[in-house]
Structure 1
Amino acid sequence: MLTDELVLALRNQIRSQLDFSGAVTDEELTQSVEQTVFDYCNKGHPLTAAEKVQLVRRLFHSFRGLDILQPLMDDPTVTEIMINHHGEIFIERSGTMTQLPAAFESKERLEDLIQAVVAGVNRVVNESSPIVDARLRDGSRVHVVLPPVALRGPAMTIRKFPERPMTMDLLVEAGALTAEAASFLQQLTAAQYNIFISGGTGTGKTTFLNALSQFIPADERVVTIEDSAELQIRSVANLVSLETRNANTEGKGEITVRDLIRASLRMRPNRIIVGEVRGAESLDMLQAMNTGHSGSMSTGHSNSARDMMARLETMALGAADLPVQVIRQQIVSALDIVIHLSRFRDRTRRVTEIAEITGIDGGEIELRPLFRFEEEGEKDSKVLGALKRTVHSLLHRDKLQMAGLTLEGDRYGDTGECQESRENQERRENKESRESQEYREGRANAAC
């Protein structure tokens, strides 16, 4: 039985044998670990071959890897690792959350691991700056919170990403959206429509953005901007990836998303991809989309596509003291399409709405749903349903025409045009008629 006490004792023994005054190669470390395990077995502690291999790996990773987390990092079925404190670790595997029986030997060991992780990406985390976002070499996202903010001790959350980026075909195969919707989004991406992806935490926004980016033409120049680099865009050769930087111990040297967006405008990008907007940088993103960078993309947290519009308004208002109508006009001018993702009770992640931003009606941003998820019941604890087309045409078609593209199944302008489109047109005509009548009555009253 491989206990934490055994690993700690052997680890201390190995540490005492190694000369850390110089560089210790992986081969030298492996030899020392194997010899220590063999000596332990020869002293009356027999282990099976599998247990020996497991013990050697655990000891090696305690020096070079992520200690007890390394097997979890190597397990492709584990998608998230949540460390509440050194003695409590939870993992998410296939959408189900369970507690890991193992734990770190001490709070100090977890703190050492955290410092090694953040130092690897030139970040700093300490009592004066107790919150940090970082990443591992494989691209996994790491979020760390230290005391005094974390009351029970250091807390770390690791969001793993697959070695092979998720493609739109795999998302269709998994039931996240239909083949028709995927083809529709492929055409819009190629035609340089500005797309915003919204959803709650853990709904797969970054994964979907990765998949969508594969439709970007290979001859374009793309600049990505993120807090901690997660995007894996491999279909574009002319790619610049930018990452924010925290302030140093003196409170200087911070580089924010806003700074990077402004810098990216001087890099001659065709498209700008902002990994996620959370605050004032949303206004810079909207302005960048309004300055000729068509085809740009970003993500944000919200409960629905309409809620995302309200959140963008709030975030942009925090950046500048502008009238809300000016902000709404910025949003309408910048964004073309909103895609909303949701996580269902059966732990599946799906696209629940694709909507077109058509303009401002009655002072409010008007959304026109193009696809909407329709639930059809439940079977064997699985939610049944599919993403269904609600209208068969886009109102704003100028980018499609400039790109020389035609949407599959598009019925714009013929007798098959959707009922909703006609209702929108009638509503606008009635509104214009009322306004015209009120204007005439006002002129008549003034003449009297």
Structure 2
Amino acid sequence: MEEIKVFFKEIEKENKKTKMEVLEKNPDNIGLEDLSYITTYDSIFSKLPYRYKQIIKVREDSEVIFSQFGKEIMTLLKDKNINEINLNQDGFIRVDMFGKGKFKTDIILETDRAENMIKLIADYNHAIISEEEPILSTNLPTGERIECLMGDIVKGQPVFSLRKRPSKIFPLTDYVNTGKLLEEYRKKLVEEIHNGANILIAGGVGTGKTTLANACINELRGTKKRIIIIEDTPEIICDCDNKVELTTSKYVKLADLLKTSMRLNGDTVIVGESRTGEEVDILLKIWNSGAKGGFNTIHADDSQSALKKMEQYMLSITSVPQIEEIIQAVNIVITVKKKMDSSNYISEIMRVKGYDYKNKKYILEDLIN
């Protein structure tokens, strides 16, 4: 980018001042949208406030990478109803759309263009993708999560799976309107959310756990509670004023952020997904220490399996099953599944009542019983 368009309102009043003098005088109060002069990129970039530099950097990197996608794929990226975009070895683009499930489009991404795109994404993230390291797990400049494969492991045909960051909340009423949830369950679930239930959302890969979590979290809008959100990849949408959003980095693990959250005085702690014993252990301690109304997702096929999965994670750091800690912390378990046509639905919403030590099973009760 050789030039940047700049407009200084102050210059309209003080024509004799140079563009650079105005920047040096008050750079923090100059918005990019307020600029109208053309100046060299390098000369102005160094004077811009940090937040503008970041905006420009993301835009530049995005333009270069997205130029390889083409207009048709960019249209899919902008579609708020689409949450996944996948490239298979046949070159066809496939998507996963809310309410419709997965389907094949007539869009083809040529091998050369796909490879160039993947290499650009790797460069942006200071990563390497090669024959020796053919797998790239990273994010686009705009935050979308992407998994890329190249080389012999995919027979020379690039493959990627792009998970979009949600830009739209599908409220629980949408689940009712599309037949995914009965109205009586929705009403009871909303009541439990407002009463501060800690909720575990279970499901397989791509079943829509985060989408459902966002629908439930949407019921908290308007709350005065201090909400702490912790994620590996920013996917949770929370339309609440008093919130802190924490994201892991190369140097800071999710467990580290969970420990930090205990000193942030949060009323509610929401975690995108817990995958280790340490993460589950800290989250349960937080929920059992007075934080109410939290959410967490986990890979499991039903409510019983979800709680057992938590138990198994905990056994990696302790020799004694932490059953009491689990049943005290987790109040509700929701399971979301996919049908054969790839559309999803809520299969069960269970209340955690206790544990049957004789049969080694959690005691669960249907939400509306």
Relative to the length of structure 2, the TM-score reads 0.73
In the other structure, the counterpart of 1:115 is 122
Using the alignment, how far apart are the partners of 2:155 and 2:344 within structure 1? 32
In the other structure, the counterpart of 2:207 is 203
Partner amino acid, structure 1, of 2:282: D
Q: Aligned ranges for residues 82-231 of structure 1 at < 5 Å?
A: 82-84=86-88, 87-93=91-97, 94-98=100-104, 100-104=106-110, 106=112, 108-115=115-122, 119=125, 124=127, 126=129, 130-134=135-139, 137=142, 140-145=144-149, 152=156, 154-160=158-164, 163-216=167-220, 218-231=223-236
- Corresponding pairs, count: 304
User: Structure 1: any 5+ residue segments left out of the alignment?
Assistant: 1-19, 26-59, 247-253, 372-388, 392-448
In the other structure, the counterpart of 1:340 is 335
Partner amino acid, structure 1, of 2:350: A
Task: Evaluate the alpha carbon distance shift between residue 163 and residue 301 of structure 1 in structure 2; reply closer, same or farther with a 3 A threshold.
Answer: same
Shift of 1:72: 2.3
Alpha-carbon RMSD: 3.0
Is the 1:195–1:295 contact (alpha carbons within 8 Å) kept by the matching residues of 2? yes
In the other structure, the counterpart of 1:329 is 324
Shift of 1:104: 3.1
Shift of 1:131: 4.0
More off after superposition, 127-136 vs 286-295:
127-136
Structure 2 residue 362 is the aligned partner of structure 1 residue 366: yes
Task: Evaluate the alpha carbon distance shift between residue 151 and residue 225 of structure 1 in structure 2; reply closer, same or farther with a 3 A threshold.
Answer: farther
Shift of 1:355: 1.0
Is the 1:85–1:154 contact (alpha carbons within 8 Å) kept by the matching residues of 2? yes
In the other structure, the counterpart of 2:305 is 307
Is the 1:146–1:153 contact (alpha carbons within 8 Å) kept by the matching residues of 2? yes
Query: Which gives a bigger RCO, structure 1 or 2 (Cα 8 Å, sep 6+)?
Result: 2
Is the 1:261–1:285 contact (alpha carbons within 8 Å) kept by the matching residues of 2? yes
Task: Evaluate the alpha carbon distance shift between residue 202 and residue 299 of structure 1 in structure 2; reply closer, same or farther with a 3 A threshold.
Answer: same
Relative to the length of structure 1, the TM-score reads 0.61
Partner amino acid, structure 1, of 2:226: R
Is the 1:200–1:301 contact (alpha carbons within 8 Å) kept by the matching residues of 2? yes
Shift of 1:145: 4.4
Using the alignment, how far apart are the partners of 2:134 and 2:329 within structure 1? 35
Partner amino acid, structure 1, of 2:264: M
Larger Rg: 1
Q: Write out per-residue CA displacement over residues 135-184 of structure 1, whole angstroms, 9 at most, x where no aligned residue.
A: 563x6443344568766465321123553311112222122212221111
Shift of 1:89: 3.5
Is the 1:79–1:159 contact (alpha carbons within 8 Å) kept by the matching residues of 2? yes
In the other structure, the counterpart of 1:261 is 258
Using the alignment, how far apart are the partners of 2:105 and 2:244 within structure 1? 39
In the other structure, the counterpart of 1:72 is 76
Shift of 1:113: 3.9
In the other structure, the counterpart of 1:270 is 267
Shift of 1:350: 1.5
Using the alignment, how far apart are the partners of 1:275 and 1:238 within structure 2? 18
Using the alignment, how far apart are the partners of 1:24 and 1:150 within structure 2? 41
In the other structure, the counterpart of 1:287 is 285
Task: Determine what percentage of the aligned residue pairs are the same residue.
Answer: 24
Using the alignment, how far apart are the partners of 1:283 and 1:152 within structure 2? 43
Q: Secondary structure at the match of 2:84?
A: strand
Q: Write out per-residue CA displacement over residues 6-64 of structure 1, whole angstroms, 9 at most, x where no aligned residue.
A: xxxxxxxxxxxxxx6x3477xxxxxxxxxxxxxxxxxxxxxxxxxxxxxxxxxx96675
